[in-house]
Amino acid sequence: MGISIGMVGLGSFGSAFAPLFKAHPLVDRIAFCDCEPERVAKFANDPFFSDKFNPRDAFTSLDEICRCDLDALVIITQPWLHAPQCIQAMESEKTVYSAVPLSCLPDGEEVLEWCDRIIETSKRTGKEYMLGETTCFRPQAMFCRRKALAGEFGDFVYAEGEYMHDVDSACCLREVQRQRTESRIGSEWPAREEAYFRRGKLASPMNYPTHSVSGPIFCMGTRARKVAAFGWKNRTADSYFRTSEFSNVTALYELANGASMRVAEMREMAGQLSTLENETFRLFGTRGSFSENTWYYNGRTNENDAIRPPQTQHYSDAELFDPLPPEVHDAFLELQNIQSGDLQNRDFVPAGHGGSHPYLVHEFVTCVATGRRPLVNAWEAGHYMAMGVAADISARHDGELTPVQDWGYAPEL
């Protein structure tokens, strides 16, 4: 017997995930929820979903779907709503998946409070929270996590994480903002943002740090202790940055494993960078290092046993991915072929944010089905946000060394 999942939020991002959740062979039942009824109708009337969707499972409010007898909810709504909605879902006895980030607000203290409440609610209710952080399920992260678990990096010495997303890049942040605020719920944000602004709570790229900080922290299995950060303030009176303290932030973290890590969150810089440059991370160890799909390995444990010359191997994305179970691979391949119109294609190519989307879906579905704790759980997600909050505090105090709040690691089930 499979599981039942409700999709909450059917905008452009939620719409990209709904077919994947429906296609997963462990999902027997899917429900839809959005405050705009026409979005629900789009999926309710789509023949692709008919074998797993019942008309009674169409909802227009979170309250309604929380009262429903579903196993889990996938919440892909406006960023400032993620934390309270996920808490409500867990309190209604449902495992919950949240789009990134856990919370996105210009008030760092409020963000930390929401992180604390997410962790407390997960502990109290016994229900799991998973953050859908795409970086952790890109092929590069899969490869590095395998190498790290095998000890092939040796001791970590240095790491870098970057999210270089200029406001006018191909994925135009101005357009994202426009589309977001045109929706029924999204239209509420400008007034809320203005209220924060009047209180002196200014935005920063570090309000949304997960794409840059998560890769190294996730793969190394460590925590950040302290940070010194510096910000760049927009100098052109660009209206996009009117309520922002910084348009760019660069931070240097001291990590619990003894390594240091540089992170860059950039929203104002020229150039359309390649995929391996604009959202990337690099890891450097005493035995092995990884940068831009290339693995460097010297195998050194002492001065006499190093491999000379060191091994260097470059990989394609396809070679870095973890394999999916055959039945899951085949289900996603069938979906891919239906969407592309090429029913004869036998080559499944994971898509969405570096191919992470199918793996995010598989991780959450299997966690719900087996009761396993998600890899990117409440404790992990909270730490990513705390790293951003600490970096902002440091940048606003001219690089003052600032501690990073840490809730520890998720306890074993």
Query: Is the pLDDT at 229 greater than 90, yes or no?
Result: yes
pLDDT given at position 275 = 73
Residue in the block written with tokens 């460097």: 296
With cut-offs at 50, 70 and 90, classify the pLDDT of residue 299. Answer: very high
pLDDT of residue 308: 86
User: How far, in Å, CA of 353 to CA of 339, rounded?
Assistant: 17
Q: Indicate if the pLDDT at residue 276 is higher than 80.
A: no
Average per-residue pLDDT in the chain? Answer: 96
The mean pLDDT value for 323-341 works out to 97
What confidence tens digit (pLDDT) does each residue in 361-413 have?
Answer: 999 999 999 999 999 999 999 999 999 999 999 999 999 999 999 999 999 98
Q: What is the mean pLDDT of residues 5-12?
A: 97
Predicted pLDDT at 365: 98
SS3 28: strand
The pLDDT assigned to 273 comes to 78
Rounded CA-CA distance 364/273 in Å is 31
The average pLDDT across 32-52 equals: 97
DSSP string, 68-119: S--SEEEE-S-GGGHHHHHHHHHHTT-EEEEES-S---S-HHHHHHHHHHHH
Q: What are phi and psi of 139, to 5 degrees?
A: -60, -35
Give the Cα separation of 287 and 297 in Å (integer). Answer: 6
Mean pLDDT calculated for residue range 351-368: 97
Distance, in Å, from the CA atom of 20 to the CA atom of 212, rounded to the nearest integer, reads: 25
Distances (CA, A) of 174 to 12, 169, 170, 240: 16, 9, 11, 7
pLDDT of residue 344: 85
From CA 204, how far away is CA 376, in angstroms rounded?
A: 23
- Residue 407 to residue 157: CA distance in whole angstroms: 24
User: Is 90 exceeded by the pLDDT of residue 304?
Assistant: no
Helix (H, G, I), strand (E, B) or coil at 174: helix
Model confidence at 158: pLDDT above 90:
yes
The pLDDT tens digits for 87-123 are 999 999 999 999 999 999 999 999 999 999 999 999 9
Closest CA to 220 of 278, 281, 277: 281
For the segment 130-141, what is each residue's pLDDT rounded down to a tens digit?
Answer: 999 999 999 999
